[in-house]
Structure 1
């Protein structure tokens, strides 16, 4: 890796850590210079503005999220096994972020009513993730793992709702039962929408050793 790219990666990693605890609005060239031990001009050379820095952090977060949740799950069989894998890895990601926070969620709170490039970047990346999740639901439908009249958008909405509730109860309320309730919500949803073939495929996938499903 080129030295300039290496320095930029170090700055981005530090910026992501700051944003996770202080939000995107807590980011500044000055704060980042202090954390990295660099000069303000040194940081500024890699990110010409605070806005550019915020957008780069959003993109970095999205890349890590894709790697840990989406790309790791597409190795699972299409249908309910893949949909479960996506949800379980998403939940695992949230459980790790209980102390640091989810940039998608905190960013939505910070920028929900503030038009501009940072909001556009957040919206674009959340929509990209929702599109991937929607595709997994459609594939489950095509595999015959979901009832023919299952509403794809409703399932997507309910899955997202479970994650938002989990984040709120686990991070804000510190409710120790939040993870279990999210899991129960997912199982209840499967009971409502899954076919017998879907349940069979799901059970077969669950019978694999836990290490193979990580």
Structure 2
């Protein structure tokens, strides 16, 4: 076996472990991700899983960072192609709601669930989840200022950020697809814009 093929196979195995961990975490929380459960799900030995992720926390952090990177790719980067101002701000929110409606995970948005799961805890996973939400709030606040809207930016950020978890619950718990339209309308009202959705 060539070193290149061996490295590719190792990366494939690592990706499979992470993908399975994210599926589990979206349904049962990050604490539901255990080395033993992953070994069983993937028909691997525990040591085989540990060769790629040395601890449960390492795996949890990898899942959080993977979702953050995906959020950047699917929500922020497409919106940044719009001119700065209201158009970009609305694109950010609409992209976020589209992402929540189709995260690719069976239990919905992992970061939204992790925010509740880790809100009263301490440690590296808590800190990573907290940073992801703080960064998102700061980014929204900066874009609201760029849009030069005659609104209270802090109040707008509070409201917009609350719409995401509300939408996630409506989709995951109630199966309410109309909630996406409601969330988009709510954003426009918060931003003092006509209800054009």
TM-score (norm 1): 0.80
Pick from 118, 124, 129 the counterpart of residue 131 of structure 2: 124
Q: Residue 173 of structure 1 corresponds to which residue in structure 2?
A: 174
Q: Residue 153 of structure 2 corresponds to which residue in structure 1?
A: 152
The 2-side partners of 1:27 and 1:175 are apart by: 28
Q: CA deviation at 1:85?
A: 0.6
Structure 1 consecutive aligned stretches of length 4 or more whose deviation exceeds 4 Å:
none
The 2-side partners of 1:95 and 1:77 are apart by: 25
- In structure 2, relative to structure 1, the CA distance for the partners of 1:20 and 1:39 (3 Å cut) is same
TM-score (norm 2): 0.86
The 1-side partners of 2:67 and 2:177 are apart by: 26
The 1-side partners of 2:50 and 2:44 are apart by: 10
Q: How does 1:20-169 map to 2 (within 5 A)?
A: 20-97=26-103, 99-141=106-148, 146-147=149-150, 150-169=151-170
Q: CA deviation at 1:25?
A: 1.1
Q: Residue 19 of structure 1 corresponds to which residue in structure 2?
A: 25
Q: CA deviation at 1:35?
A: 2.4
Q: Residue 10 of structure 1 corresponds to which residue in structure 2?
A: 16
The 1-side partners of 2:43 and 2:78 are apart by: 35
The 2-side partners of 1:99 and 1:37 are apart by: 21
The count of residues paired between Structure 1 and Structure 2 equals 189
Indicate if the aligned counterparts of 2:26 and 2:109 stay in contact, CA closer than 8 A: yes
Gapped regions of structure 1 (runs ≥ 5): 207-214
Task: After superposition, give the CA deviation of every residue in 1:57-89 in whole Å (9 maximum; x if it has no partner).
Answer: 111111111110011211111101100110001
- In structure 2, relative to structure 1, the CA distance for the partners of 1:158 and 1:30 (3 Å cut) is same
SS at 1:46 equivalent: coil
